[in-house]
């Protein structure tokens, strides 16, 4: 089945800030106070167009979601965590790739199953939906512990913190580094639709400085002293009312022992990168570069093949080639004319003859990785 080119959060400005929603993304909207803005973003997701099927999972009776029909709604009524996981993952498979599931507030699940149960539920369901290719929208209201909130943040792909007038993207896996920290202003109109616009660069810088200051446990006066400006200047910068000069930012970054980039985005670059979620497989044969550049001493591509389809690696590799098959039955044509066949979980290592072509002999999709080291 060919999926739509790009799913949506139902809020174009948020889609742009995230550089798109990816198939399999779990998007968590986390409330930072008791306002009702979080509900508006969940409704917008539920009403977004372009999904093959749209469903809802509720954690108690009497809950409804706009844009989701009753026939596409299930209720988690059991207090058995494992049973709840089985039911929801099966529902995810029913919705299938290209679909959307909108989840009830996780605070309600924590009240039903306890925070440890809610954590176990999320830790199993979130990656399962990522693998299936279902987009999931989750709500996390106030009232849960930081331990549970941090655990959810650690395993999901996207986290958007929702305040009274602003939303902040605090996690965005497989996106450019500068996506994290993006701040958007919003208001909810009379129809209950969030109207969103990008905050100025000064506002984004102010948020980053505030995050860095709070992380270090410093006051505005202390930050001002490090930067060589008044506490009032820092206060105005954090509220987005003014910017700071490059020399001031360099002085502050040096005093804090961070790079200028880390100061501006409010955090350091993570120690990992996730690649390959941007381009979906549209049938036939596809090949996506995961690592292929001067910054690495190896090359790595993911390939997918429909039943009977054939493809080939990039031309003129240098080094030892490895073909790792995760799924399918693959016949590989070597440059010397030989045609070995490998099964899923097997690896072909080509140190003399090269890989010229591969063909899927299985009745389901083949998926694997081609590396040169």
Residue 111: inside a domain, yes or no? yes
> In sequence order, which residues have a C-beta less than 8 Å from that of residue 249 and are 6 or more positions away?
227, 260, 263, 264
Distance of CA 319 to the CA centre of its chain: 33
pLDDT in tens, 59-84: 977 666 655 665 688 999 888 999 99
Do residues 360 and 330 lie in contact, with contact meaning Cβ atoms separated by under 8 Å? yes
pLDDT for position 331: 87
Tokens of 362: 């299985």
Residue 1: inside a domain, yes or no? no
Mean pLDDT of 111-140: 93
Whether residues 325 and 313 fall in one domain? yes
Residue 345: inside a domain, yes or no? yes
Do residues 358 and 309 lie in contact, with contact meaning Cβ atoms separated by under 8 Å? no
Q: How many CB atoms lie within 10 A of CB 191?
A: 7
User: At 343, is the pLDDT very low, low, confident or very high (cuts 50, 70, 90)?
Assistant: confident
Residue 122 confidence (pLDDT) above 90 = yes
Residue 251: inside a domain, yes or no? yes
Do residues 322 and 332 lie in contact, with contact meaning Cβ atoms separated by under 8 Å? no
pLDDT for position 30: 95
Whether residues 323 and 222 fall in one domain? no
User: At 241, is the pLDDT very low, low, confident or very high (cuts 50, 70, 90)?
Assistant: confident
> Which of 6, 21, 11 lies closest to 175 in space, CA to CA?
21
Residue 64's domain comprises 12-199
Last residue of a domain, one of 157, 177, 199: 199
Whether residues 132 and 23 fall in one domain? yes
Whether residues 190 and 206 fall in one domain? no
For residues 313, 157, 55 and 51, what is the CA-based torsion angle, rounded to 10 degrees? -40
Whether residues 212 and 161 fall in one domain? no
- Quote the CA–CA distance of 81 and 84 in Å, as a whole number: 5
Q: What is the DSSP letter of 2?
A: P
Residue 273: inside a domain, yes or no? no
Do residues 357 and 333 lie in contact, with contact meaning Cβ atoms separated by under 8 Å? yes
Low-confidence winner among 72-76, 136-140, 258-262, 336-340 (lowest mean pLDDT): 258-262
For residues 67, 70, 74 and 76, what is the CA-based torsion angle, rounded to 10 degrees? 90
Kindly state the helix (H) or strand (E) to which residue 233 belongs, with its residue range.
helix 231-238
Last residue of a domain, one of 178, 199, 220: 199
- Look up tokens 């820092």; give the residue: 234
Mean pLDDT of 169-173: 88
Q: What total of structural domains would you count in the chain?
A: 3
| Maximal C-alpha separation, the chain | 74
Q: Which residues are bridge partners to 329 per DSSP?
A: 343
Paired sense of beta strands 54-58 and 100-105, if any: parallel
Whether residues 256 and 357 fall in one domain? no
pLDDT in tens, 221-237: 999 999 999 999 998 88
Q: How many CB atoms lie within 10 A of CB 183?
A: 21
Mean pLDDT of 123-127: 91
User: At 264, is the pLDDT very low, low, confident or very high (cuts 50, 70, 90)?
Assistant: confident
Residue 118: inside a domain, yes or no? yes
Do residues 66 and 46 lie in contact, with contact meaning Cβ atoms separated by under 8 Å? yes
- Quote the CA–CA distance of 301 and 202 in Å, as a whole number: 39
Whether residues 56 and 179 fall in one domain? yes
Whether residues 72 and 97 fall in one domain? yes
Residue 280: inside a domain, yes or no? no
- Quote the CA–CA distance of 137 and 30 in Å, as a whole number: 11
Q: Which residues are bridge partners to 185 per DSSP?
A: 166, 197
Q: How many CB atoms lie within 10 A of CB 145?
A: 10
CATH at residue 243: 1.10.260.40
Tally of residues, the chain: 373
Last residue of a domain, one of 149, 180, 199: 199
CATH at residue 297: 2.60.120.10
Residue 313: inside a domain, yes or no? yes
Whether residues 250 and 294 fall in one domain? no
Locate all alpha helices (DSSP H) within 9-73, ordered by sequence.
12-18, 37-46
Whether residues 345 and 365 fall in one domain? yes
Whether residues 185 and 331 fall in one domain? no
Mean pLDDT of 21-30: 94
> Which of 342, 285, 341, 280 lies closest to 308 in space, CA to CA?
285
Whether residues 50 and 139 fall in one domain? yes
């Amino acid at each position: 089945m060919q999926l739509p080119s790009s799913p949506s959060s139902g809020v174009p400005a948020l889609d742009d800030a995230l550089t798109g929603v990816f198939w399999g993304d779990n998007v968590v909207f986390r409330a930072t106070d008791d306002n009702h803005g979080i509900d508006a973003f969940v409704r917008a997701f539920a009403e977004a167009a372009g999904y093959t099927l749209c469903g809802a999972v509720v954690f108690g009776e009497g809950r409804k979601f706009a844009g989701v029909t009753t026939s596409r709604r299930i209720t988690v009524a059991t207090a058995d965590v494992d049973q709840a996981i089985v039911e929801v993952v099966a529902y995810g498979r029913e919705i299938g790739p290209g679909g959307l599931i909108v989840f009830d507030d996780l605070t309600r699940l924590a009240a039903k199953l306890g925070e440890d149960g809610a954590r176990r539920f999320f830790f199993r369901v979130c990656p399962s939906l990522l693998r299936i290719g279902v987009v999931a929208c989750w709500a996390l209201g106030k009232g849960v512990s930081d331990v549970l909130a941090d655990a959810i943040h650690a395993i999901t792909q996207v986290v958007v913190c929702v305040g009274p007038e602003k939303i902040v993207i605090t996690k965005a896996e497989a996106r450019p580094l500068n996506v994290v920290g993006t701040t958007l202003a919003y208001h909810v109109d009379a129809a209950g639709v969030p109207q969103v616009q990008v905050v100025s660069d000064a506002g984004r810088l102010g948020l980053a400085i505030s995050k860095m200051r709070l992380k270090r446990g410093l006051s505005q006066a202390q930050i001002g002293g490090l930067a060589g400006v008044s506490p009032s200047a820092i206060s105005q910068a954090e509220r987005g009312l003014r910017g700071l000069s490059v020399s001031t930012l360099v002085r502050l970054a040096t005093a804090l022992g961070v790079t200028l980039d880390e100061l501006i985005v409010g955090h350091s670059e993570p120690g990992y990168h996730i690649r390959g979620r941007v381009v979906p497989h549209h049938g036939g044969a596809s090949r996506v570069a995961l690592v292929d550049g001067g910054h690495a001493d190896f090359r790595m591509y993911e390939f997918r093949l429909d039943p009977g389809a054939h493809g080939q690696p990039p031309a003129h590799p240098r080094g030892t080639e490895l073909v790792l098959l995760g799924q399918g039955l693959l016949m590989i044509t070597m440059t010397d004319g030989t045609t070995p066949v490998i099964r899923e979980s097997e690896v072909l290592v080509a140190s003399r003859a090269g890989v010229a072509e591969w063909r899927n002999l299985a009745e389901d999709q083949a998926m694997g990785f081609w590396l040169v080291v």
